[in-house]
Structure 1
Amino acid sequence: MRRDVKAERVVLAVAKAIEAKFDRGDWLTLGYETGYADRVREHPRLLRSLDWNDDDYSGHVLDMVEAILRPSGRHIGAGPRRISTRAIDEANFAIVERMLGLSKWLAQHEPVLFSDIYGSRVADVGVDELQAAAKQLGLVDVDEHAARIRRGIRDDPAQAIGSAKELLETVLKAVLGLHGNGPETKKDIPYLLKQANITLGLDPAGARGSDPGAEQRRKALGALTNLVNSIAELRNAGFGTGHGLSQRPTLDVATARLAVSAAVTAATFYIEAHAAEQG
């Protein structure tokens, strides 16, 4: 999400997507995830107007989205109403963004709102494809990293690079079956990449080591590995979030985009290779 976007445009975009996609169960799920379940159930008209396809449903959706995304916003139910001047609640926005597949839906159905909220379509650096691949394997953690990358690539390159490194670690550990926070999971990216290649039979001695194009694939993976390793180095050098730095050096958006694009491409490849191996 762009830092300079008007909060009202975000509320409108989310409301339009919810009106098009949500059913009663989706509303209740959103309520439980954001802490607004009681307000969703107790709203005098929201779920009723949805069930009966009433003309006033759109207005009630806007009311509830305003309440969830801008917590000091409109009062729901009795009493006077006031409009909030507060910014969007980013935690709640991340939840609705994930539930709705918001950027993809806006790009297809509301391109003007997409541009207002996310900027250029190019900036998504393949995140939609990554999320689609991860969903097939049930890697739910990928959604959180992808959402942070999507928000950060334009406005907070350090956040995007930090999230890109975490994304790669999440995917590679999933391929290797390393779960939780035990000592066996404390591995760096070069080690994880090497072991993932062995696990998936992509190394020269592996099951896929003699496939047509295997040598060229290894060369491509080698080049990609160098890019991926540079992401970890950028982050460790202080260009990405982490390590508690108080005076962080800045990185230009073009370099951040290159690093993040490599991370997303690598993560998508390993997810799809893992899916093929399982299949």
Structure 2
Amino acid sequence: MAIDSDPDILKTAIATKIEATFDRSDWMRLGMATNTVDVIRDHRRLLRSLDFGDDDYLMCIWDVLPDVLGETRQRGVKGVRFSKLDKVLRQLNLEKWLRENDPELHRQVFGDGTMPFLDDLEESEQATLDDIREYLQRIRHSVDDDPALAIGSAKELLESVLKSVLGLYGSAPDTHVDMPKLAKRANIQLGIDPAGVRGDEPGADSRRRVVGGLTAIVNGVAELRNAGLGTGHGVSQRPQVDQAMVKLAVSAAAIAAAFYRDLGEASSNEDW
């Protein structure tokens, strides 16, 4: 999603969802999430127009959106920045609502659907984890305009899904595991580690190659990030990466994350 190219389209989408679905409680939750409760409550018409269904309600929404989104313009920097966008999108679940209620506006905001695995992951049970949903949104927002953030977020997405599969949560010492070890442990736990595939099993060699490719994706995305192509390490002169490579990396990461998510959920259901 290239939000910097036309911020008014993004704001239109957000205002459309708010106008169609919000009540007072929704406004208060959004205000608490973005530290703008006073802005919302003190607007002279916003909540009154909502309560009475007045014609100026949409205009009132537009009045408060800059504060709610943390909108800023910086001299010498092209476009608008929304410092609170992640928090707003988390509250609104905007992508799914637009896809179901306004496909054309969805296309303008989120593109032409060339990353369907992000859709699949975002609708999954695992996406209810705040960190996973946040990484998915960051990838969407940055894949066109901030490739380093997209690659860094793809690595963090994979790391979060693998840790979820392994039941590693929080910041305890046992959660500090590098990506190759995480992938190895997840493969063993899920019964797909190439070393555990018997030679007499159907398609044994092919299965080893497929899982080896999956592991290579996980490790390759982590290595791109560690090489300075993604956010997460301080880099004074970040190497450039072409757009095709960025989309390949994040798409592959999303496919791998979806695979681990599906296999992890199936394994949990079997255990139950």
TM-score normalised according to structure 1 size: 0.82
- Distance (Å, rounded) in 1 between the aligned partners of 2:10 and 2:194: 50
- Distance (Å, rounded) in 2 between the aligned partners of 1:38 and 1:158: 35
SS in 2 for 1:145: helix
Q: Which runs of 5+ in 2 are unaligned?
A: none
Residue type of the partner of 1:261? S
SS in 2 for 1:243: coil
Residue 53 of structure 2 is aligned to residue 53 of structure 1: yes
Residue 92 of structure 2 is aligned to residue 92 of structure 1: no
Kept in 2, the 8 Å contact 1:161–1:256? The answer is yes
Q: 1:159-198 residue pairs with structure 2 within 5 A?
A: 159-198=149-188
Kept in 1, the 8 Å contact 2:183–2:218? The answer is no
Residue type of the partner of 1:95? K
Deviation at 1:238, TM superposition (A): 1.6
- Judged with a 3 Å threshold, the aligned counterparts in structure 2 of structure 1 residues 142 and 212 are, in CA distance, closer, same or farther, namely farther
Deviation at 1:3, TM superposition (A): 5.2
Compute the RMSD of aligned alpha carbons.
Answer: 3.0
Q: 1:69-218 residue pairs with structure 2 within 5 A?
A: 69=69, 88-122=80-114, 124-135=115-126, 138-203=128-193
Residue 237 of structure 2 is aligned to residue 247 of structure 1: yes
Kept in 1, the 8 Å contact 2:217–2:256? The answer is no
Deviation at 1:249, TM superposition (A): 0.9
Kept in 2, the 8 Å contact 1:125–1:264? The answer is no
1:220 to 193, 210, 217: 210
Deviation at 1:96, TM superposition (A): 1.7
The count of aligned residue pairs is 264
Q: What is the identity percentage for the equivalent residue pairs of Structure 1 and Structure 2? A: 48
Q: Which runs of 5+ in 1 are unaligned?
A: 74-85
Deviation at 1:105, TM superposition (A): 3.0
Deviation at 1:216, TM superposition (A): 5.3
- Distance (Å, rounded) in 2 between the aligned partners of 1:37 and 1:214: 59
Residue type of the partner of 1:63? D
- Distance (Å, rounded) in 2 between the aligned partners of 1:271 and 1:106: 25
- Distance (Å, rounded) in 2 between the aligned partners of 1:212 and 1:93: 49
Deviation at 1:111, TM superposition (A): 4.2
- Distance (Å, rounded) in 2 between the aligned partners of 1:236 and 1:204: 25
